[in-house]
Amino acid sequence: MPVEAILSASPYLKRQLERYPDWQAFCVTSQPYADGELFQKVADEIRNIPDHNSLLRVVRQIRHRETVRIAWRDLSGMAETAETIRTTSDLADALTDAVLHWCYAELTAKHGIPRSHEGEAQQLVILGMGKLGGRELNFSSDIDLIFAFPEKGDTDGKRPLDNQSFFVRLGQRLIGTLGQTTADGFGYRVDMRLRPFGEVGALVLSFDAMEHYYETHGREWERYALIKARVMAGDRQRGAELMERLRPFIYRRYLDYGAVEQLRDMKAMINREAERRGKFNDVKLGTGGIREIEFTAQVFQLMRGGRIPELRERNLLKTLDVLLAQQLLTDAEYDILRSAYLFLRRTENRLQMWNDEQTHSLPGKPEQQASLAATMGFGGWGRFHAELNRYQQAVADIFQRIFTLETRETQPMPEHPAIQELLHSRLYNTLTDTGRSRLNRLLPALLDACHAVAEPEQALERSLKVVQKIAPRSGYIAMLADHPDALDQFVRLVSDSLWITSQLTQHPILLDQLLDSRQLYTLLNREELGTELRLELERIDEGDTEQVMERLRQFKQAQVLRVAAADITDVLPLMKVSDQLTWIAEAVLEESQRHVWETMTAQTGVPMYKEDDGSLREAGFAIIGYGKLGGLELGYGSDLDIIFLHDSHGQMQQTNGNKVLENPVFYARFAQKIIHTLSTFTPAGRLYETDMRLRPSGSSGLLVSSLAAFRQYQENKAWVWEHQALLRTRAITGTESLRTAFAQIRYDILCRERDQAELRREVTAMRQKMWDALGSKDPAIFSLKKDPGGITDIEFMVQFLILAHAHKYPELIRWSDNIRQLDSLRQAGILTAGQAETLADIYRTLRDRIHALSLQEQQAKVPAEQFARERNYVRQAWQVLVEGSQ
């Protein structure tokens, strides 16, 4: 762009270059600043200034010189918008920090250095707010600041002050130095109204006082403001500590759906103010303007930043990148918001470069309109304005979708007795005005959604159970009210499953799963589950065991809910349901073991042992799954039957860390901590109930066995029923060598030749004991698992046949699940194709019914007349295949 065009676009730039002609060459030859370069340059210029008057003059000269450079590079096309707003922010950082240190030195010379009661030197911490915090400051902008200092105490000089008084004086001095108008103009207009208690609050607070304020008095709009807060000057190390202390106020640990409504209310207030002031042509506050882009990004930050640390980003463009990566924005939405933001910010800066004024309104004078259009690359005002309108409309459409601002007629409150009972309940009267408003908005839509399912009254009864539970945390009510698709999913699922109703009542955080039906019904495979859980745990401090336990539970509950949703809508067949539930348990076991291992070995080192040849080796550890876990047949609410093994042997069996433990002691504690992680009740419930009774010697045996001890027990002491149980085992975790060693033990034990008559006596005797002890005593009831003709009979048949024939057909023990074991017996010719297929079909049918009953929180029992044909077939097969009768 020619020099004349650049100067015509900014009378401010023209005035400054007339005053300082040599600055033009400085601008023309300039290059982008490297990170930290401008900061250091300003610090060097200000550090040795002799007096305050000189400081005022130099600060203003630096500010004008650098803003002229910024404007020149922007208007000439030498700099992209991202560079312009970043450099503008860096200039504010540099001047603020340099002036702070100059004033600090001046005050400490008079009063001494402020120190904590323990004698530690103190410095001011300055938080940059708003666009300054995001390093995206306007060309001519106020700077919003908050001042804090670490700890109370006193200065150590001859004229001491308490730290509060010292830092108040320092803050006042800083504000005056930056903001006072002199013959050279001003540095920055400093706005302190975002501080605790606003204009009536203390100018500076200690960290403790800041934390107390936000915990006790903090308002929702302050959470929004603090998203952008950045330590931009002063003691950055202590500032990081302050931000960490404020993080729980800004970002909730749960998904905060109330943020949508709170930001919507803020935007409505802004709209009313814009209308009052006639700011319809405001590129910042108007419809489809910069503020709507900011709100669109920040609502996701407030909602989800507590659980997704990547969203705790201050810069808007970077936040949009994260939202795209997290699939919270579509590719199209991301492209629109990003390009619109850059266009609007470039427009805003060009408006402010005109006369170094903080304005966001489009010009009314033809001269300035033509200049703005030209600097934006358009042939005339009409073309520019059309493009601006296109961007604003696209932004407004996205904003409206996310904030559900479409006009809706207020529905009358239904006269339904259940709803009226809720409206006249004590619970309703204890809600805040906001909570009642949200509930009033939800209830008519809820009743409509219930009328759309097969059993409306049951759906409403179950829905209201959840609603009453979540009503005090009205953000969840807002989520259901504002997302019709999520409400429909919610009603559909609770109508079909009492178990899902209970899960949502106990763990409202699961409601988040309902927002995206594609995600709800798209299940992860085993590898994806492990990756997803690992990413979840990487987002928290893994040294915080309480947090890890909570996140493990939340992950498990969310994934099981997705399985249940797919199950009751027939998206998944039975075998896939069990696969999914088993994979979830495997992922949880794997990460639980890894977490406990890392926390323990950080103190004790890893367990080692010395081989006979003198080599030192690391001992391994494995979790072995039995029963439904081992057989990939977990159901909803299944326990985990597990045992723990290690391969430590030889000499010097001890850990290699500072806190040395003998390996048996280490492994006992290790196993106890894993069980604690799995089975302890926390606010998020319990992961799994664990059953360790299948370990060698049962409840009286060691919690963790060595491989050698396990082999010896299985060879010499185990009962037949324990060998039956061994058929349903597999290694869930462990090193490859340990898994191989366990597989060899399993093979050697199960493939032994057995006396078939003795085997038959043992198996039938054990089954009779189970019928007597666990079977239904009511002839009108059929226990699907435990009664004659049920699931356990099929399992015992299969186990008997494999133990009887595995010495001839070792391939029979390859699988640990009942269905593939039946097929192995068919392939070996021990069962006919008809027998194997029929028994497998019955097994699947009965398990399918058990899953369905579990989802209604019912026991695995049905009237005796149900499944009579299947039951008779199993009993006849038992007589033929186990008892040997024809």
- Residue in 161, 192, 162 with CA at minimum distance from that of residue 175: 192
Residue 832: which region, alpha, beta or left (left: phi > 0; alpha: psi -120 to 50)?
beta
**Percentage above 90 pLDDT, the chain:** 77
Largest CA distance in the chain: 114
Instruction: Look at 787 and 280; give whichever has higher pLDDT.
Output: 787
Separation of CA 204 from chain center = 34
Counting beta carbons within 10 angstroms of the beta carbon of residue 808, is it exposed (0 to 12), middle (13 to 18) or buried (19 or more)? exposed
Comparing C-alpha atoms, which of 732, 742, 738 is closest to residue 620? 738
The predicted-structure confidence for 579-597, as pLDDT tens digits, reads as follows: 999 999 999 999 999 999 9
- What's the DSSP call for residue 162? B
> Could you tell me the pLDDT band of residue 75, with boundaries at 50, 70 and 90?
very high
For 782, the 3-state DSSP assignment is strand
Tens-digit pLDDT profile for residues 117-161: 999 999 999 999 999 999 999 999 999 999 999 999 999 988 999
User: Which residue in the block uniquely carries the two structure tokens 């009033």?
Assistant: 440
pLDDT of 235? 96
Question: Tokens 């403790």 appear where?
Answer: 208
* Residue 384: per-residue pLDDT: 96
Listing DSSP states for 156-181 in one string gives -SSS--BHHHHHHHHHHHHHHHHH--
Q: What is the mean pLDDT of residues 188-197?
A: 95
**Angle at the Cα of 35 from the Cα atoms of 353 and 336, rounded to 5 degrees:** 55
**Residues whose CB is less than 8 angstroms from the CB of residue 462 and which lie 6 or more positions away in sequence, other chains included:** 494, 495, 498, 501
The whole-number pLDDT of residue 885 equals 63
Gap between the Cα atoms of 396 and 2, Å rounded: 36
CA dihedral for 851, 855, 861, 863, sign (positive or negative): negative
Burial of 617 (0-12, 13-18, 19+ CB in 10 A): middle
Residue written as token pair 């015509």 = 8
516 neighbors 566 (Cβ within 8 angstroms): no
| Residue 261 vs residues 410, 426, 441, 508, 534: alpha-carbon distances, Å | 17, 25, 12, 18, 32
pLDDT of 797 over the 50 cut: yes
Task: Name the residue among 217, 216, 221, 170 with its Cα closest to residue 194.
Answer: 221
Predicted confidence (pLDDT) per residue in 481-493, tens digit: 888 888 999 999 9
State yes or no: pLDDT of 753 exceeds 70: yes
Res. 302: pLDDT tops 90:
no
Pairing of strands 230-234, 781-783: unpaired
Please report, for residues 242, 306, 307, 546, 700, the alpha-carbon distance to residue 248 in angstroms, rounded to integers and kept in the order given: 11, 8, 11, 16, 46
Read off the pLDDT of residues 840-871 as tens digits, 9 standing for 90 and up: 999 999 999 999 999 999 999 999 999 999 99
Cα separation, 723 vs 820, whole angstroms: 18
The pLDDT tens digits of the residues spanning 262-289 come to 777 777 776 676 666 555 588 998 889 9
Tell me the Cα Rg of the chain: 35
Q: Give the C-alpha separation, 513 to 196, whole Å.
A: 36
- pLDDT tens digits along 206-245: 999 999 999 989 888 898 899 999 999 999 999 999 999 9
Is residue 780 predicted with pLDDT exceeding 90?
yes
Q: What is the mean pLDDT of residues 322-333?
A: 93
Looking at every residue in the chain, the average pLDDT score rounds to 92
Residue 766 one-letter amino acid: M
What's the whole-number mean pLDDT along residues 46-70? Answer: 96
* Phi (first) and psi of residue 662, to 5 degrees: -65, 145
Q: Which domains does the chain have, with CATH numbers?
A: 3-215 (3.30.460.10), 258-400 (1.20.120.330), 417-520 (no CATH), 588-750 (3.30.460.10), 756-881 (1.20.120.330)
Residue 408 pLDDT class (50, 70, 90 cuts):
very low
pLDDT class for 407, splitting at 50, 70, 90? Answer: very low
Q: What is the mean pLDDT of residues 669-683?
A: 94
Q: How far is CA 247 from CA 225, 306, 352, 471, in A?
A: 12, 9, 34, 25
Say what percent of the chain tops pLDDT 70.
97
pLDDT for position 634: 94
Mean pLDDT of 344-356: 95
Per-residue 3-state assignment (H helix, E strand, C coil) for 403-466: HCCCCCCCCCCCCCHHHHHHHCCHHHHHCCHHHHHHHHHHHHHHHHHHHCCCCHHHHHHHHHHH
Summarize pLDDT for 507-539 with one digit per residue, the tens: 888 888 887 777 788 889 999 999 999 988 988
Tokens encoding 286: 């108007």
